[in-house]
A and B are shown apart, each in its own frame.
Chain A
Amino acid sequence: MSAAMRHEESWLLLPWLANGRLSQAERARVEEHVHGCTECATELAQQRLMCEVLTEPDRVTYAPGPSFRKLMERIDARPAAAPERRAARVHGFPAPALSAWRPPGLAFAASFVAVVGLTAAFATAYHWSQPVYTTRSDMRAAEAAPGVLHIAFVPSLPVGQAEELLRSAGARVVEGPDPSGIFGVAPSGSTQADARELRTLAQRLHADTRVLWVEPLAAAAAPPAVQERGTRER
């Protein structure tokens, strides 16, 4: 490589020599050139000054909390904004990559899975239609506790994490747990939540995969979109 080319290459790479992000080989090459080139040595000093000035501690402290809350309100305002894994499963639309041609064997496998899945779905629906389910939505309780959501977590969830989940979702425990592990919860900042508040809270809770289901008790607060997770996702 000629001296001119070496100079040009070194000149272009000086910003990364200054910020320390050159590979070892590049660094050795550029440093060797800089030692014998006054112009590059001067430029390197300026580049280091730029790095120094731009990485100095902030005079302003940016608090992420309020911004994050705004973002979560935006996400909660659009339930469809859940991570796309769930959206694809709910709506059943195949991802673009899945729409490509597949070997016939896969079609048989898919059919088999579909049959098994439908059988399981019917069995589960039948199971849920039995009295053991209806006792959890006892309307007497609804009359006694309007503005309350009932919630069940995945069984493996530690109590501490359940509390943390509720706290971050803006909910507080007002009842339970009953012998089935079901809690009654209400919005944290509200003594008598209205239907809209409950709907928002239910959607927020439902978006968390650690929540098995969340169910409104008061008829007035029953949001149509909030069902048991398994029912909704089928």
Chain B
Amino acid sequence: MAEPTYRGAVGTARETDLIARVAEGDRRAFEELYNLYHRRMARFLTRLTHRYDVAEEIINDTFWVVWRKAREFRGDSQPSTWILGIAYRKARNAFRSAARLQEKNLAAAPEPLTNDEPASAEELRDWLGQALAQLPVEQRLAVELCYELGYSCEEIAAIMNCPVNTVKTRLFHARAKLQKLLPQLAGTTTPGDAGGGR
């Protein structure tokens, strides 16, 4: 079965309809909407937090708001932008509640990861996860929204409630830091060649 998609006219219309039904208290529609978003949100939030229980808490906090505020969704933005916008704020708050730890992370000078070259895309992904953990939360979220969830610059700006240029700047700095943290990314074109350029 084809995986539910976030984008596309059909998907958007379907999600808009589901939100309208949720506004009327339809639990089946709520469950369907929840299932549509759970997997991807769980994936990128788990990568960000390194803990599924924290990711699950953020997802459920998000959908708690969706349940309460579905009536307020007017369709001015795409359903995914609205839901991910809520998730973004919840995730940011979760990170802020762990501010002390984060400040410690941010204060620490980022150091390149191990010199061992990743043998596969899977290892590269693990390394990337570690590198992302060293970025400020706003940059981390921008990276995930762009590369993993495939949002446009304008959509990310709507989700993060900031100007488009801020999104570009956040990704610009994130890319620069990732290049320092992951030298094996430099000069490679395929996962199999990762590290070959060093």
Contact = CB atoms under 8 A, between A and B. Distances in A.
A68 B71 contact: no
B77 to A, nearest CB: 16
Interface string A159-200: 000001100110000000000000000000000000000000
Interface in B146-195: 146-148, 150-153, 155, 168, 171-172, 175, 178-179, 185-191, 194
Contact of A15 (B25, B171, B187): B171
B24 A209 contact: yes
Interface stretch (A29-37, A81-89, A139-147, A215-223): A81-89
Interface in A109-165: 164-165
B122 interface: yes
A12 B35 contact: no
A15 B178 CA distance: 13
Interface string A1-28: 0000000000111011011111000000
Contact of B152 (A21, A70, A209): A21
B144 interface: yes
Contact of A53 (B23, B43, B189, B191): B191
Given A20-B150, A84-B68, A56 B25 contact: no
A67 B56 contact: yes
A168 B30 CA distance: 12
Contacts of A49: 185, 188-191, 194
Contacts of B52: 62
A64 B34 contact: yes
Contacts of A19: 146-147, 150
B97 to A, nearest CB: 18
A168 B27 contact: yes
B27 A52 contact: no
Nearest to A80: B68
Contacts of B190: 49
Interface string A75-117: 1000001111110000000000000000000000000000000
A81 B152 contact: no
B38 interface: yes
Contact of A21 (B70, B71, B153): B153
Contacts of A53: 121, 124-125, 128, 191
Contacts, number: 136
B35 A68 contact: yes
Contacts of A208: 25-27
Contact of B25 (A22, A58, A86): A86
Interface in B6-47: 22-28, 31, 34-35, 38-39, 42-43, 46
B21 to A, nearest CB: 10
A54 B153 contact: no
Contacts of B150: 19-21, 51, 55
B73 to A, nearest CB: 11
A83 B143 CA distance: 33
A71 B34 contact: yes
A83 B147 contact: no
Contact of B67 (A11, A56, A81): A81
Given A54-B125, A62-B43, 8 more contacts: A22-B152, A48-B189, A54-B148, A64-B39, A83-B23, A83-B25, A168-B27, A209-B25
Interface of B: 22-28, 31, 34-35, 38-39, 42-43, 46, 52, 56, 59-60, 63-64, 67-72, 121-122, 124-125, 128, 143-144, 146-148, 150-153, 155, 168, 171-172, 175, 178-179, 185-191, 194
Rank and list the top 5 A-B pairs by shortest CB-CB distance, nearest first: A64-B38, A21-B152, A62-B42, A54-B148, A45-B189
6 contacts: A62-B42, A64-B39, A68-B34, A70-B60, A71-B64, A209-B25
